[in-house]
Each structure stands twice: as C-alpha cells, then as structure tokens.
Amino acid sequence: MNTATLEQVLAATGYLPDGRPAPGLRLGAEAQSSRHGRVFVPDALWRSASSLTVYFKFEQSAPADDLVSQWRREVWNEGFAPLLWVISPQRIDLYNGFGTPAKEGDAQRHLIRRFENIEASLHELDELAGRLAIETGQFWAQVPAIDRKTSVDQKLLSDLGCLERDLVAGNLARDAAQALIGRVIFTQYLIDREIVSAARLKRVCGRTALPAILRDRPATSKLFAWLAQTFNGDMFPPSSVKTTPAAHHLTRVAEFLEAVDPESGQLSFFPYQFDVIPVELISSIYEQFAHAEPQTGGKRTEALRNGVHYTRLSVVSLVLDEVMDGLSGRESVLDLTCGSGVFLVEALRRLVHLRSQGQPPTRELIRSTLYGQVYGVDISEAAIRVAAFSLYLAALELDPDPQPPQSLKFQPLIGRTLLVGDARTVERDGDGKAVLATPTGLKQFDLIVGNPPWSFRGQTGTEARRKTRVAGVPAQPRGEGLDFVLRAAEFSHEKTRFGIILSAMPFFSRSGTGMAAAQHVMRAVAPITLVNLSNLCSWLFATAAMPAVVLFARHRPKQRTDQVTVVQIPWTPSGARTHSFEVAPSDVITLTLDEIQEQPLKLKAAAVGRRRDLLLLDDLTSAHRNLGEQLSLLDTTFQVGLIRGPRESDARCSPAKRIGCTASQRHAALQHSR
C-alpha cells in the first residue's frame, strides 16, 4: 500500500490533521482488527461518536467494479457505514454504503462522486465528505441518496416481516413462525461463519446447502435434531424439534434464502451475509415482529397496547456510552424489560472488550461474562428466547475460534440469567426467586438499563399498579415508566448506574401528581441527567404517541448529588437518515433539585429552551402573579379547561371566559384585575 497517497488524502480532508489521527480514526492493523468480513480489508476507518463509520480502501490501480461491489456488499451488511472511499493514485471514488446491493451494475449504481485528479480535487473533496462536513451535517444535505431507509437493518427487518406474514397466512402459528425464522437465521449464521461446513451438513442430513435441506422435510428434521443436541442452549430446546413445520412452510423459508419472489417465482439477488450483519441488529427482530403484527378490527398491536416501542441501536449506543464509561468490565448488568435483549447484547460485547484489555478475548472470559454478568427479565417468553439466541450469537461472534463441537456447547440462560416473569414480582417464586432473592435481600447490580413500557393502559392497568404501589410514594398518574425506575432501584446499591428510556410526560407535565412522582424518582436515584429526545421522536420512536427522555443516574462520579443536568438533543435535517445525534454546549443546562421543586416549569424550560428562557421565566415569576393567583382575585378557580365565571347575573366576566362578554364587562374585569 502506498501510505503516502492515503495519508495525503486523509490529511487534506481533516481525518489526519497535522499528521495525527483525528478522534475516531484508525489506521492499518487497528482498522482491520475492528471488524470481520470476507474479502474487504480496510486500510483506515473513521468512526463517529454515534458509531457511523467511513471506510477508506487504497489500491495501486483503480479496482474493477466487481471487486468494489463485493466490498460494498460487506459494508452494507455491516449496517453502520454510510460511506466507502476507494483511493488509487489516479482517482478517488465515493460509494454509498447504505444502498441496497444489486446483482448487476452495483458499483456504478451506488457511486456518489468520482474525483479524477487528486491534487486538484482535495479541496472539493473536503467540502463534500471531509470530517467537518460529516460531523456538521453538511455532507448529508449535499448527498440525499444516502439514507437509512435502504440500509441492511431496514431491509432485513422488512423482508423478515413479509416472510412471517406469509407463514402465518399459510396457517402456521405466529410463535411457531418466529421460532422457525430464528432457527433458520441462526443456522445460516453458522454456515456463513464456516462454523458448520458443507461437509458436516452432508454427513448430518445428506444435503450441503440450507435451502436444499429446507425443501427436504426429513432432512430438515435431522438438521434441527442435530442442532438441538449439539447446540445445547436455549435456542433449540428439545420441544422445538418435536414437530417439524409443514413442507410448504419450509419451502417458503427456502425461497427467502434463495431470493425467490413469492408472487412471480423469479430469482432476484440475496444481499445478506449473516456472518457480517451485527448481532445486535438481529436481536431487534422480536420488536419488529411485535410492531408488524397485523391490527385486528382497528385495534393497536399488543406491543403498542403495552407501551413497548422498538429500541433503535443508536439509542442503545447513547445509553451504554454514558453508563459504561470508565468501567472495569467486571460489572453486572440488569434490564428488567429486556425484550429481545438489544441492550444486553451490546453490554456483553462491551464488557468482554473491557475485560480483555486490548487482547484477543478467550472463550473462558467470554463465557464467564455471559453466564455471570448479564441479566434480563421480560414478561414474554418469546422475547426471552430471542434474547438468549442473540446472546449466544454474540458470544460466538466474539469467540476467537468458534469451531464445533466445543464452541457450540452453551449452558442454558433461560431460568438462570434470563427470566420470564413480571418485573414487579419476578423474585417471588420459581426461577426468579432462586436467581434474584438472596438471604440479605434482592440481588444488586452495577448497571441497570432498559426501555420499559410507556403507555397508560386504562382502568385495568391502574388496578394492577395499585396492588404493587408503596404507600406514601407519589405515583405517576398515567403510564408506568416511573414505577419501573423505582422498581429497578430495589436492585441497586449506592453506586449503581442507571440508563433508562422513559416517556417525557411526567417530567414536563403541569400535573401536580405527575411532577411530584417525577421529583420523587429524581431524588431517589440522584444525581441525574435527563436527555430530551422529543425532537427526534418522529423517526426514533415512530410508533409512540408521546415524547421520550433518557434518565441517567449516578453515572458521573463527580456530579453533585443535588444536580440535574438537562440535555436537549435538537432536530437536524440529517437525523432521520443517519440515526445520529448532535449536541452542542448550548444544549446543556444545569439545575438543582431544589430549583425544580420551587419552580417545576424550569425543568421543561431547560429541556426545550435555552438559558435565556430560564432567565425570562425567573423574571416573570418574580415580578408577576401567576394565572391562578390572578384569577383568584376575580373569585374564579383555576382548573384545566374552560373556566366559567360566577353564576350571578351581574358578575364580571373573568379573563378566562371572554366569549359572550360585552366590551363594558371586559373593561370592568381588566380594571378589577389591576
């Protein structure tokens, strides 16, 4: 490799300023060791704080389009790289890393821009795609073709949703359809990673490729039985292989793997490489299935009725970046509403990285972290099974030599670290009691993360909450997010770090009971940081009917115990396309708990406004009566909604009811209020 040419380009575009790597830039072996793939070996990469990656590849001569298409397909499957730079002494080509791979003409279809003369084009290249252009969002405004809507996660989740609907329409129960899809994805992952070879498949069931096996029902039964015996964890329990799905169901899944259009029967291009796709993306399948569930009679899906909203990987990174900063890797993690385990998978990966201290992790280290440090609870058995599946995949991905039979022998997670049950009562009986109850009280964890249900579930939900409510503790009037925070605190110690996604309503509501509940929670887990995500909900939580915040607590050792740091993440034109966040110093405001208690409106002002808005609020409240006090002078009670004035026929018209008042009445009311 001609490092001089590559370094010249990186220096001119801000990735290697003054000969020193910019934050996030990795060169040579460091760049190559940070990913695994098939044929693509980057010479450099730059990773932003939100995990978006730009890859740089140098070649002595401009590579053929077919080779570029192979590289780009890998980059697309990785899911986090919107841009691939291919650099040669003759030219620089920029390719769209989010564009769905095509069977023919892929490289030219996804070529964004070609710079023929490097010396003359470096300034123009820097303005288009340099580090500053990427970080400020200028790049995204200039290149609308790069969009998350065509990235691997959106494409895969859409295709799996269609596959599931076809299976259900073919009279396969929905949970059985999900189980079949999960087993097939896991098997294809083992094949793509060459953990299970074609020769082994031939010995087990007489076929060498998974689609051919699925088209042969007896061969499928043999394969699933072998996997259940070999992979002795929770993904293939004995009960899952007692009944092999019908031949037409297996054929439909085989068609998915062969990229056969179910309507036309025509072959297309199968873009997926399951050995490259991040495991945390696969773990989000359950949430996507839950939200894709067909509505019946106009009713919302079960997930939406329960206030469950799909957790995007960008939010997972935001939460874990904060709560895991500066840790040793020996800490324990709990998610009381873990769903398919998206938080747990990424936490496992980071804990292993921290424990290995820059060295290749051993299988013993990976397994001890998996079995002893990562815990999850969910009321859905299907979700817990997907969480187990995802954690096993993550452990295999981290394994330096994942070859059978030893690498496939896992201990069960369900009933040990993954528990099926209601988070409110999980420790009272069964597996939960054995795992979470100790002689001195509940088991304590070092990190508590998650995205608990947000929604208000009407009278039934209220009755259920009353049964577990602690006397004297202010309760959130609508919704149960704060209940989960208080419940999570029961599993904490004084240094436990929290990172929990919640509805913003109780924090920004004018309701007295809502604010009392929010302030009680803030004092219980102080010091805290509130990150307001309300501006991003249109793409971050598209199914939610209310804004969102992230509650961080005790994650900054130097933060004062009475301090509340409020961060407002602003909307940006590129946010929905990049799934990234941009925060400036002006977006951060610090308050105290006493300030919020004295003037609750300050919390909302800090979350949606600027420091000048707080100054204006202070000025208004110190120099003027509030509306309730003003109306009391008119013998009118301040309540929510339309307030009617006194019933006496000669009563003055209050400012709260101007409709129907005569001019003289309005004048008299104003005179009286002065």
DSSP 63-130: PPHHHHHHHHHHHHHHSS--EEEEE-SS-EEEEESSSPP-SSSHHHHTEEEEES-HHHHHHHHHHHHS
Phi, psi of 260 (to 5 degrees): -90, 125
User: Three-state secondary structure along 367-423?
Assistant: HHHHHHCEEEEECCHHHHHHHHHHHHHHHHHHCCCCCCCHHHCCCCCECCCEEECCC
User: Would you state the pLDDT for residue 599?
Assistant: 85
Close Cβ partners of 143 (under 8 Å, ≥ 6 residues apart): 96, 112, 128, 129
- Report which of 58, 64, 63, 56 is spatially closest to residue 81, judged by C-alpha positions: 56
Look at residue 442 and give its three-state secondary structure: strand
> Do the beta carbons of residue 45 and residue 34 sit within 8 Å?
yes
Q: What is the DSSP letter of 144?
A: T
Q: What is the pLDDT of residue 386?
A: 81
Exposed (0-12), middle (13-18) or buried (19+): which is 80, by Cβ within 10 Å? buried
CA 158 to chain centre: 17
Residue ranges per structural domain of the chain: 3-146, 152-277, 500-624, 629-674
In this prediction, residue 644 carries a pLDDT of 55
- The predicted structure's pLDDT at residue 16: 94
The two tokens of residue 214 are 């699925």
Establish whether the linkage from the previous residue to 600 is cis, with ω within 30° of 0.
no
DSSP 14-69: TSSGGGSPPTTEEEHHHHHHT---SS---SEEEE-TT--EEEEEE-SSPPPHHHHH
Per-residue model confidence (pLDDT) at position 673: 40
Cα→Cα distances 22→16, 84, 133, 325, 504, Å: 6, 18, 14, 20, 36
3-class DSSP state of 206 = coil
Q: How far apart are CA 201 and CA 213, in angstroms?
A: 9
Q: What is the largest CA-CA distance in the chain?
A: 97
Instruction: Find the helix or strand (DSSP H, E) in which 464 lies.
Output: helix 458-468
Query: Residues 6 or more apart from 353 whose CB is under 8 A from it?
Result: 329, 361
Q: Report pTM.
A: 0.81
Residues 345 and 309: their CA atoms lie apart, in Å, by 18
Token code pair at residue 191 = 């094949």
- Sequence-separated (6 or more) residues with CB below 8 Å from residue 410: 231, 232, 233, 367, 392, 395
| Confidence at residue 627, expressed as pLDDT on a 0 to 100 scale | 78
* Cβ–Cβ under 8 Å, residues 98 and 65: no
Mean pLDDT by 10 residues, the chain (674 residues): 82 93 92 83 90 92 95 94 93 95 94 86 93 89 89 86 90 85 86 88 94 96 86 61 84 92 77 85 61 49 49 86 94 94 93 92 95 95 84 88 73 93 91 93 96 65 58 71 92 96 85 83 93 85 79 91 91 79 86 88 86 84 80 72 52 40 41 41
Residue 442 dihedral angles phi and psi, to the nearest 5°? -75, 150
| Whether the Cβ atoms of residue 93 and residue 108 lie closer than 8 Å to each other | no
Phi, psi of 43 (to 5 degrees): -95, -20
Cα separation of 543 and 532, whole Å?
Answer: 17
- Domain 3-146 sits in CATH at 3.90.1570
Which tokens belong to 613? 């808005």
Is 455 in a helix, a strand, or coil? coil
Question: Cα torsion for 241, 245, 246, 249, to the nearest 10°?
Answer: -150
Write out 482-525 in H/E/C secondary structure. Answer: HHHHHHHHCCEEEEEEEEEEEECHHHHCCCHHHHHHHHHHHHHC
